[in-house]
Structure 1
């Protein structure tokens, strides 16, 4: 499923729509080059989860935890992870197999640790369409996410 964003607010808005329908234990793998708007998308998801905290990229801490919404949110950034053992050491399984929503930026770096059932979102720039143009592709891996497919289109 593809969506298009012409402005940062469109990216945030799509994230908010998704966040509004996510359920306990959902896992989102977020891919895209530096500067494509991954953290803005996460800000939107957090809004949809009614999280009031300031959302920042966990680049240097690996994971940021947010507990102020209708569901907890664990936001991972594994860009600087050199070895999957490094992320396992922080209790990765306990995070992603909890009742929180987990978002993993740069999940391709630790793909062997990602559960089979997850949502994969890829954000791509297309400067030929405009400086802020983004193509946001959403793929649902596993039957768990059938509930989202129709709701996100509305």
Structure 2
């Protein structure tokens, strides 16, 4: 596990941009954290790192937003309003396995609500601490954490 202290919102954005610049298509990011912990800010910066020019908004009501104009596609899920049994009806494996869609990066907010997980993913837990936020990143299966450098 990699732990990174994020002393500012800029640090969270820097982390997301670095992921976007380095991650290959087929990567799944499962994002955990309380409301306001920086999940959406991270995904917005991820999109910047991918070269996506569109405004990235949390798909709280649409559930999945697709951004196809970057280095690789970004599929952004927000499961906040769903129960685990409801998430299965989204067929998230279509996105993380590249079935019927171009392989890209899946970023899934509120991942604890997934009914099932892929075999390989990066788990990113964002939390508050006295000096800002903290990111804990864990690699599951063949997913690899990119080389990270945070300047504060």
Q: Give the TM-score normalised by the residue count of structure 1.
A: 0.87
**Helix, strand or coil for the counterpart of 1:113?**
coil
Task: Give the match for residue 152 of structure 1.
Answer: 148
Q: Which structure: greater helix fraction? A: 1
Task: Give the match for residue 92 of structure 1.
Answer: 92
2-side partners of 1:153 and 1:117: how far apart?
23
Task: Give the match for residue 63 of structure 1.
Answer: 64
Task: Give the match for residue 36 of structure 1.
Answer: 37
2-side partners of 1:153 and 1:143: how far apart?
22
Task: Give the match for residue 82 of structure 1.
Answer: 83
- Choose 92-101 or 63-72, whichever is displaced more: 92-101
- Does 1:102 pair with 2:109? no
CA RMSD of aligned residues (A): 1.5
2-side partners of 1:115 and 1:106: how far apart?
15
**Per-residue displacement from partner, 1:87-129 (whole Å, max 9, x unpaired)?**
333332211211110011111111x421121000000011x32
- Are the counterparts in 1 of residues 12 and 38 from structure 2 also a CA contact under 8 Å? yes
1-side partners of 2:44 and 2:84: how far apart?
27
1-side partners of 2:69 and 2:38: how far apart?
23
Task: Give the match for residue 133 of structure 2.
Answer: 134
**Helix, strand or coil for the counterpart of 2:90?**
coil
Q: Give the TM-score normalised by the residue count of structure 2.
A: 0.89
**Helix, strand or coil for the counterpart of 2:118?**
coil
Q: CA shift at 1:16, angstroms?
A: 0.3
**Helix, strand or coil for the counterpart of 1:125?**
strand
1-side partners of 2:11 and 2:143: how far apart?
26
Task: Give the match for residue 2 of structure 1.
Answer: 3
